[in-house]
Amino acid sequence: MADIHFDTITKRFGGTVALDAVSLTIREGECHALMGENGAGKSTLGKILAGIHRPDGGTLMIGGSRKIFHSVPEARAAGIGMVYQELASCPDLSIAENLLLGHTPCRWGLFVDRRTMAAESRDLLHGIAPELDVRRMMHSLSVAQRQLVQIAAAIGTRAGILVFDEPTSSLADAESKRLFAIIADLRKRGVTIVYVSHRLPEVFELADSISVLRDGRLVGTLSRSEATDDVLVRMMIGRPLLSETEIRKEGGPSKILLEVRGLSSPGLLTSLSLSAGAGEIVGIAGLVGAGRSEMARAMFGLDAASSGTVTIAGTETSGLSVRGRMKAGLAFIPEDRKLQGLALELSCRRNFSLTIPEKIRRLCFLDHHRETALLTAFFRMLGIKTSSPDAPASSLSGGNQQKIVLAKWLARDARVFILDEPTRGIDVGAKSSIHTIIRELAANGAAILLISSELPELLGLSHRIIVMRQGEFVGEVDGTLATQESLLRMMSGL
Amino acid sequence: MKVHMLSMMVFALCCISSVFPQSPNYTIGMSQCNLGEPWRVQMNADIKNAAQAHPEIRVMFKDAQNDNLRQSAHIDEFVRAGVNLIIVSPKEAAPLTKPISDAYKKGIPVIVLDRRILGNDYTCFIGADNKKIGKAAGKWIAALLGGKGTIVELKGLMTSTPGQDRSSGFREGIKGSRCKIIFEADMKWLEPNARKEMESALSRFPQIDLVYAHNDPGAHGAYLAAKAAGREGTMKFVGIDGLPQEGRMYVKQGILAASFEYPTGGREAIETALQILGGKKAAREITLPSRVFTKDNIDKGGEALPQ
Amino acid sequence: MRSLLRNPVGRAVLSLVLVCLVGVVFNADGTFFRWDTHRDMLRLVSVYGILAAASTIVIITGGIDLSVGSLLGLSAVCFSIFSIHRGWGAIPSVLATLCIGAVCGSISGGVIGRFKIQPFIATLAMMVFARGFAKYISAGQKISTAVQSTDGTFSYVPVPGIFDFIGTRIWGDNIAVVTILMIVVLFAAWVFLSQTVPGRELYAIGGNEEAARFSGVPIPKNIIIAYAISGLLCAAAGIAQAAQELQGDPEAGASYELSAIAMVVIGGTSLRGGTGGIHLTVLGILIIGYLEKILSINAVGEETRLMLTGAIILAAVLFQKKGD
């Protein structure tokens, strides 16, 4: 394996230019980070390397010879593996079957050799997630566990070049740490790493050199020693950013808007009680699998088996449907925007107005003018960039997609918001604007329950932080007093 | 939930037991190849009506739903149930020959209705001859038109023997006259298809003297198309089958000039069955006589066709 | 040309133009250029078109309705029994038949929405049941103006006025009433799907049921509405069929569901749900309608007809797929 050289690579998707004559060189054996806001083109560049996309113009040279990969297997044969941001796996197959998909060991060329398969897949998982039983079904795993399996699958191809596309976007801190150790180990073995991310700390921890893309163009390449927070952020978004720790809001609790009493769900949640007042941001911390999302779903009426009471702005909601709870003033931004947040093939308009039937209805019919007015107002407020409101949501970048999920709930004028990982997998610029929106919501008198795996985000935004472990509340800390260490200790039960 | 299940099962049992009343003496098994066709429904009705006059026999009806394998299973079931006689109107010859032959060799008399099987292992065959009926229709039509005219032929399913016979017989019948078939189409025995094809014929040909359809619903569909075009008075319609509530009704209403009966043989089957069960010898082949129904003779029960 | 091919409407219009071009070339001595040919084509597709409208609504939710043909048969029988045998007036007969259709549809919808049974299986059960029920209440015979009394003799009753009204043509003999009925149904279905909130919600359910649930869309209720409307439209189609045939045939509509689904898919509505709409189905109806008419006026043999129809359906769907 040798140096990778992108020469004036151009890639268009329909009318939008994802990459515009990008030239850059990745040296053999280094860890090269590709940074940029969502939609900057960094993932596209990685996907061209891995054979998922074909460039419309320019050439890709590896070790001095010209390469065009038409498919993933071709790229894989050339020693290039990729860990995707999107979770691509077959939910009804076991871990082992997923790991060895495409090269399942066979006996007599026909029958699956289960013993060899189990052994091989255990080897693959060994360095990454040894605690997982390879016979478990993929759908029984958490998002983070699935991501780990995928990393194991990519590494298992014995690739000389590995592309990681936002690998930590759904990992909790501990699992991220484990991933970094794996990457460090891979580098020692001489593997070239292309690391696509917008998270500054991990890039600083891992990368030898950093290339920044903005709007499909290369802004520049820095070595690790040249790069600082400020420089990179300015390169990525073209302006300086407020430090996360400056984000803090005082103001005590006032009127109670959200009151939860004895919320339980068999096997998932044990007697949870909490309250949140107008203007208050309550953070929920916990490791992956602690039951944070399950709690949110139960509060929103999506878990039929749950018991206990949830009172929203004075309305007791037990027995109410989701829509009933929405009418009472509750909004829920789910963690997985592709599965739960959006219907990707539907237009932005239809996704946006799904939550506000009563606002866009005149008599029996749709009021298109009012709908467009609302949509324009909210899209402008959140800075959502679309080619047209009638373009499918799938044509947008991750950050813009997440903003549409936010927009469709903001348009409801809810009093209580549950935000589940609102900034997962989106870029620094979008993240900071979403943080601003959360603070403004609270300032305007909403009660907010913020579920996040990013401790700085929780610490920066929350007035109080409740820590969850195994379906129970195990502690509560004042937002000003909490530290990452104290939270971590409570989360992991040490 | 359990109470629901239980009550549903009780309900189902009641339904089933009401469908199968008890009263034996002679049991006849009747396997019909497909009850989706009115003509075959009529055959079953004829058998049922004929049997009702004889309290000593009970007929067990089965519908093979156009499935050879299901029908051969019926024959085996009848044998195992120990019926005294089997009437079968087979779907196809080859697949049913063996089960029928097996039953016959076990000593159960078998009456084969309408369609033949291969070989000689059956007691009696009762059927009409499509080719003869088609030929009679051709002759009758040639005479009606005075030996000259334009004809639209709406054919039954041309992959089926009745369709082929009704077509070739008809052509034989009009041979020698100056009647010409100007348009032909396969309407697959179905009235909506017949109407569709007739519409096309109507828009292509300004002069049509007669429509010959391989069944009465087809003729009726053609009539509806002509009526919609305001041309039903300029042409005549002829169909085959002559079922009481289809062809005969259309003739009576003046829609069809004639309908040629294709007898079901249901009544004859029961008569033959009674002979056999009574120990008498029955004819091995019974070719059913056909009748033609026209407006003039319909109230007198039609006119027998020359054999 | 390129931009025309980029959206499904453009592709369906192009398919339609191509089919019509075939008609222009093989015009059967000028028959294709006469209005009555087109009028008859529209009459022919009317019943199918109403079923296609019903199927579109269901397919947009990501489901499928196999029972449309059987419900048509059942409704045709019920309508004939009510109006011919029982001698009910036009309005009660129509309303009762529509109710039966809607009830059957909502039973399918309830099974799918509440008990999470796959639409294919649930409507397959309804398809078989409704056909059986139609045969049961009609004793397997066509319900016509010949009424059989208990002694086996027939008496004849006059054709009810409603049959004549629906079965004829109006506006100087230029369009069939059933075609008007189809246009009204298609327009109503278009309004429902694209101009109302429940219609929007059906698209969301088809696009991503989970996301719709997380947005508070009541899934079972909407599914039941979709299948109930489908059943209602099938009943309307059954009435149109009975009026045209002057009888209620328990076998009517057999395998019509496949034609209806083909019309929807050729128009460009995806079987995955969430995309498409009535405007596309209208084009699909015309494509299939013209195809059948052109084959029929040229008196093409049955074997050739089947092969050509299969090949053209495949070509049209591949063509629709190309832009995705």
What mean pLDDT do residues A33-45 have? 81
Residue B14 is assigned to a structural domain of this protein: no
Place of tokens 């065959």: B125
Q: Which ranges of chain B would DSSP assign to H, the alpha helix?
A: 2-19, 38-52, 68-81, 93-105, 130-144, 161-174, 191-204, 216-228, 247-252, 266-277
Q: What is the pLDDT of residue A246?
A: 43
* Residue A404 confidence (pLDDT) above 80: yes
Q: What is the mean pLDDT of residues B185-192?
A: 89
Using CB atoms, pick whichever of A322, A344, A366 lies closest to residue C216: A322
Q: Is the pLDDT of residue A86 over 70?
A: no
- Say yes or no to pLDDT of B1 above 70: no
| % of chain A beyond a pLDDT of 90 | 19
Residue-wise pLDDT tens digits, A342-374 = 998 899 999 999 999 888 888 888 899 999 999
Q: What is the CA radius of gyration of chain C?
A: 20
- pLDDT at residue A247 tops 50: no
Same domain, B215 and B144: yes
Judged by average pLDDT, the poorest of B4-13, B54-63, B96-105, C119-128 is B4-13
Helices (H), C116-154: 119-138
Boundaries of every domain in chain A: 4-240, 245-492
Whether residues C274 and A346 touch (CB distance < 8 A) is answered with yes
pLDDT of residue A85: 63
Residues A248-291: tens digit of each pLDDT: 445 554 688 999 999 998 888 888 999 898 889 999 998 777 88
CB-based contact, C152 to chain B, within 8 Å: yes
B97-106 pLDDT tens trace: 889 999 999 9
d(CA C215, CA B83): 64
List of chain C residues whose C-beta atoms are within 8 Å of the C-beta of residue A363? none
**% of chain C residues with pLDDT over 90:** 55
Tell me the pLDDT band of A181, cut-offs 50, 70 and 90. confident
pLDDT given at position A242? 47
Q: Do C and A touch, counting CB pairs below 8 Å (3 needed)?
A: yes
Q: CB distance from B79 to chain C under 8 Å?
A: no
Q: What percent of chain A has pLDDT over 70?
A: 93
| 8 Å CB contact of C211 and A302 | no
Is the domain of B89 the same as that of B142? no
Query: Please, which pLDDT band fits residue B3 given cuts at 50, 70 and 90?
Result: low
pLDDT average, residue stretch A452-459: 85
In a domain, B8, yes or no: no
Neighbours of C91 (CB within 10 A): 9
Q: Give the least confident one: A43-52, A112-121, A473-482.
A: A112-121
- Asked if residue B5 is part of any domain, the answer here is no
Instruction: Tell me, yes or no, whether B17 lies in a domain.
Output: no
Distance from CA of B249 to the nearest CA of C (A): 7
Which residues form the domain of B29? 24-128+264-289
> How confident is residue A419, by pLDDT bands cut at 50, 70 and 90?
very high
Q: Are residues B153 and B78 in the same domain?
A: no
A127, exposed or middle or buried, with CB in 10 Å at 0-12, 13-18, 19+? middle
Cα–Cα distance, B91 to B68 (Å, whole number)? 6
C265 Cα to chain B: minimum distance (Å): 23
d(CA A425, nearest CA chain C) in Å: 18
Question: Tell me: domain A245-492, CATH 3.40.50.300, correct?
Answer: yes
Chains that touch A (3 or more CB pairs under 8 A): C
In terms of domains, do B208 and B277 share one?
no
Two tokens at A290? 């602690």
- Could you please state the CATH topology (level 3) that the domain comprising A4-240 is classified under: Rossmann fold (3.40.50)
- CATH number of residue B229's parent domain: 3.40.50.2300
Q: pLDDT at position A244, please?
A: 44
- Residues B46 and B106 occupy one common structural domain: yes
Which residue range forms the structural domain that includes residue C16?
2-322
pLDDT at A240: 52
Asked whether the beta carbons of residue C297 and residue B204 sit closer than 8 angstroms, the reply is yes
pLDDT in tens, A190-244: 889 999 887 788 888 888 999 988 878 888 888 888 888 778 877 876 655 444 4
Contacts of C212 in chain A (CB under 8 A): 343, 354
Which of chain C's residues have a Cβ under 8 Å away from the Cβ of A302?
213-214
Span of A299-303, B45-49, C149-153 with lowest mean pLDDT: C149-153
The pLDDT confidence band at residue C99, using thresholds 50, 70 and 90, is very high
Say whether both B166 and B241 belong to one domain.
yes
- CA pair distance A154, A212, nearest whole angstrom: 25
Q: pLDDT exceeding 70 applies to what percent of chain B?
A: 92
Instruction: Centre a 10 Å sphere on the Cβ of residue A210 and count the other Cβ atoms it contains.
Output: 26
Our count of domains for chain B comes to: 2
Per-residue pLDDT band for B36 (boundaries 50, 70, 90) equals confident
Tell me how far apart the alpha carbons of residues A454 and A142 are, in angstroms, rounded to a whole number.
17
| Residues in C touching A299 (Cβ below 8 Å) | none
d(CA A47, CA A72): 9
For residue A451, the cross-strand partners are A284, A420
pLDDT at A429 over 60: yes
Residue C313 pLDDT > 90 = no
Q: What is the mean pLDDT of residues B195-221?
A: 93
- Cα of B56 to nearest chain C Cα, Å: 22
> Can you give the CATH number for the domain in which C138 is found?
1.10.3470
- For residues B187-215, give the mean pLDDT: 92
Give the pLDDT confidence of A97-136 residue by residue, as tens digits: 877 776 677 777 677 777 888 888 888 887 777 778 888 8
The interface predicted TM-score of the complex, written ipTM, equals 0.82
Same domain for B138 and B256: yes
Mean pLDDT, all residues of chain C? 89
A249 CB-contact burial (10 Å; exposed 0-12 / middle 13-18 / buried 19+): middle
Q: Counting one residue from B and one from C, how many pairs have CB atoms under 8 Å apart?
A: 88
Predicted confidence at residue B8, as pLDDT, reads 61
Task: Indicate yes or no: CB of A353 within 8 angstroms of CB of C200.
Answer: yes
